[in-house]
Amino acid sequence: MKGTDSSHEGTSFTRRDFIKSVGIGGGLVLFGQFGVNAAAWALSGDPVLKMVLVDYTKCTGCRTCETACSARNRPVSINGRDLPGLGNPRFANIRVHSFNPDVDVPNVCAMCADTPCVNTCPVKPDPKTGRRALYRDQATHAITNDPGRCLGCRSCAKACAAQRRGVITPNPTTGKPERMCTLCGGDPQCVKRCPFGALSYVEVRRDRKFYGLGPEKIAAELAKGWYGTAEFGGMK
């Protein structure tokens, strides 16, 4: 597959295949209970939500996605000049967690339908827009911060870490939330640049039940399935 557009490649596998391929059984659900098949959503008539979906079996841990994300969303600035296309991967909205034994888990906002991050925000909804300091932007679908109203209380980051993927990183000085996926305005760079087709840009139901797990939990499941071990380093 060329690195230009893989957005349609990943949409065809079913949730069952997915769960089988990562060796996860029992009642553990990583994705919407309705699966991720785009056609099904289109038929359902629900308004769709798009997200970046990861196929952990294809990820090699190369971190190209991180560099692509930083390049778009946090370009490096040198001597006061922004250099789009360049950026330190640590500031990316997608983060590849690598473990010993070898398991790589790209972690990106799961676009949770029930947004525990938003729900916990103490800032009262604006009477006109209905927005708290954290909200889902209706056009881009991205979880978005309104820095003008944000208190920097870090509650959203804590909620995401405790209940979902832990993608929100509070700014070290202001405490305001960062690293929520922007979907790059509808042209996800990470998906476009992944050399191994591990990422896809898919439509999912807005009303699905969603259980995005943290990278440690996913890694442990993958390692059990692949290597028969859950003995890990660097879990903290």
Partner 1 sequence: MMSGKPGYHGVILNIDLSTGKSEKVAIPPEDLARFVGGQGLGMKILWDRLKKPGVNPLSPENPLIFMPGPFSGLPVPSSSRTCVVTKSPITSPVESDYPHASTVSYSNMGGFFGPEIRFAGYDGLVITGKASELSYVVIDDDKVEIREGKRFKGMRTDAFDKVFLDALGDRRFKTVYIGPAGEKLVPYSSILHTAGRAAGRGGMGCIMGSKNLKAIAVKGSGQPGVADHKRFLAALEKARSALFGSAYAKSWAEQGTARAIVANSNAGTEAVRNYREGTFLEADKIGGDAARRDVWVKDIACYCCPLACKKSGTTKGKYGGIVHDGPEYETGVMLGSNLLISDMPGLLKAITTLDDLGLDQISTGNVIGFLMEAYEKGLIDRSFLDGIDLKWGSVDATLAMIEKIAAKDGVGALAAEGVRALSWHIGKGSEKFAIQVKGLELAAHNIQANQPRGLSYVTASRGACHMSGDNIAMQNRRAMLDSTGMCFFPTFEPALEEPMLSLLSAITGHEYDKAEFEKTGERIFNLEKLFNYREGFRRADDRLPDRFFEDAFTIGPKKGSVLDREQFDAMLTQYYKDRGWDSETTKPGKAKLQELGLDSI
Q: Give contact residues for ligand SF4 (rule: CB under 6 A).
A: 52, 59-65, 68-69, 72-73, 92-94, 96, 104, 106, 108-112, 115-117, 120-123, 133-134, 143, 145, 150-156, 160, 164-165, 167-168, 175-177, 180-184, 188-190, 194, 196, 198-199, 212
Unique residue bearing structure tokens 């209706």:
138
Phi-psi bin for 150: left (phi > 0), alpha (psi -120 to 50), beta?
A: beta
Q: CB–CB of 15/35 below 8 Å?
A: yes
Token duo for residue 44 = 């359902």
* Integer Cα distance of 49 and 92 in angstroms: 22
Rounded to whole angstroms, the Cα distance separating 52 from 183 reads: 8
Task: Please identify, using beta-carbon distances, which residue of 46 and 114 lies nearer to ligand SF4.
Answer: 114
- Minimum distance from CB of 86 to ligand SF4 (Å)? 14
128: tokens are 């006109």
Q: Which of 22, 29, 62, 161 binds partner 1 (CB under 8 A)?
A: 62
Residues that bind partner 1 (CB under 8 A): 1-4, 60-64, 67-68, 71, 76, 78-79, 83, 85-88, 90-91, 97-98, 100-104, 193, 195-196, 226-229, 231-236
